[in-house]
Amino acid sequence: MLDAPHAAYPGEKTQILSEADAQRLLHNKGVTLQWIDWNTRGTAVVSPRDGLWTLRAAQAGGKGRLFLDGTITEIGEGYFTFDGTIRISDTPDPGRQCENTKSWHFAVTQNRPYYRLREFEWCDGLTDYIDIYF
């Protein structure tokens, strides 16, 4: 059974515990999935509206696609929590389809210049590195 993401309700706001990390997300430098390309980043748009921040990101290469869409519920020092959908299609193999809607955790590790999805094998046993750069 899939966990449903936290549904935003009127007046809900993103909890910002680190202003520095909020600025990193707001001014991010794109998204990558290693199967598509680490050197050619896709776009990641973070939009704060009435205190609730949304994230919509996509990367494409050949037939491979990555897509993220949802809300950012918390931004802390070196991490953020994203409630929404992540979809990967046709990468690294044609016909591969991975999609889930739930609460996801991204974090910075080892002083790297990106937030990495902390669930690596969430679909079919392959390790997916999804990174949002700052």
**Token match 């690596």: residue?**
120
* Count of CA atoms in the C-beta half-sphere (13 A) of 109: 8
Q: Which candidate, 8, 11, 104, places its Cα nearest to that of 51?
A: 11
Q: How far apart are CA 47 and CA 25, in angstroms?
A: 10
Segment 41-56, tens digit of pLDDT = 999 999 999 999 999 9
Mean pLDDT of 99-116: 98
pLDDT of residue 11: 75
β-sheet bridge partners, residue 33: 130
Residue 3 predicted with pLDDT over 50: no
pTM: 0.89
Paired tokens of 24: 């990193």
* pLDDT tens column, 48-80: 999 999 999 999 999 999 999 999 999 999 999
Amino acid residing at 39 = N
Which amino acid is present at 46?
Answer: V
